[in-house]
């Protein structure tokens, strides 16, 4: 398999329909609502959403929020990477790394750190490994569920709301 020509660009009005259709086709729970919200948040100045194209075809997307709304980094002026997704047929081709590079570069213009939350079930395994390889470390607040710290010995469900928050230092003094 040859390495695709990868272009990183801003999300446009056609992307929500395209990506939700592609995500549904691969068995993910998807709708245009989430991506339309990203476009609204970008227009409001709350985030930047990057799309990766591989040889001219939409392959993945990610958003960088300027200020996290919840979690351990809320109110700390540390940008947060949100909703990192690469379609399955485009995984393991360097597309995710290029999307992360774009987020980290944009975050480095305003802060020396960037943060994110990653799900804990096996569906997030590839992302978990990639974040570790890129130098992201747990923030130490423990596991979160539904935007709250999951207290020790509390029952929770291993779904998309069970997350661990990580951060990475982008530049050193």
Structure pTM?
0.91
pLDDT in tens, 37-82: 999 999 999 999 999 999 999 999 999 999 998 899 999 999 999 9
pLDDT in tens, 129-159: 999 999 999 999 999 998 899 999 999 899 9
For residue 44, the enclosing domain spans 6-169
Number of domains in the chain: 1
Q: Is the pLDDT of residue 171 over 60?
A: yes
Under the banding of pLDDT at 50, 70 and 90, the label for residue 172 is: low
Say if 59 falls within a structural domain. yes
Say if 50 falls within a structural domain. yes
pLDDT in tens, 13-24: 999 999 999 999
Q: Is the pLDDT of residue 31 over 80?
A: yes
- pLDDT for 2 equals 63
List the CATH number of the domain containing 100. 3.40.630.30
Say if 97 falls within a structural domain. yes
Say if 94 falls within a structural domain. yes
- pLDDT for 147 equals 87
Please give, one letter per residue, the 3-state secondary structure of the chain. Answer: CCCCCEEEEECCCCHHHHHHHHHHHCCCCCCHHHHHHHHHHHHCCCEEEEEEEECCEEEEEEEEECCCCCCCCCCCCCCEEEEEEECHHHCCCCHHHHHHHHHHHHHHCCCCEEEEEEECCHHHHHHHHHHHHCCCEEEEEEEEECCEECCCCCCCCCCCCEEEEEEEECCCC
Reading the block at residue 147, the tokens are 């935007």
Say if 62 falls within a structural domain. yes
Under the banding of pLDDT at 50, 70 and 90, the label for residue 95 is: very high
Say if 1 falls within a structural domain. no
Query: How far apart are alpha carbons 42 and 55 in whole angstroms?
Result: 25
């Amino acid at each position: 398999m040859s390495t695709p020509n990868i272009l990183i660009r801003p999300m446009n009005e056609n992307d929500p329909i395209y990506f939700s259709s592609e995500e549904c086709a691969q068995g993910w729970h998807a709708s245009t609502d989430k991506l339309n919200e990203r476009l609204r948040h970008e227009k409001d100045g709350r985030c930047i959403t990057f799309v990766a194209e591989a040889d001219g075809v939409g392959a993945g997307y990610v958003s960088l929020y300027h200020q996290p709304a919840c979690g351990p980094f809320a109110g700390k002026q540390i940008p947060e990477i949100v909703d990192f997704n690469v379609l399955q047929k485009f995984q393991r081709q360097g597309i995710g790394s290029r999307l992360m590079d774009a987020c980290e570069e944009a975050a480095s213009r305003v802060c020396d750190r960037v943060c994110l939350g990653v799900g804990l079930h096996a569906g997030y395994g590839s992302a978990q490994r990639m974040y570790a390889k890129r130098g992201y470390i747990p923030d130490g607040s423990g596991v979160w569920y539904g935007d709250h710290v999951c207290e020790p010995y509390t029952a929770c469900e291993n779904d998309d709301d069970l997350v661990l928050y990580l951060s990475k230092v982008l530049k050193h003094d």
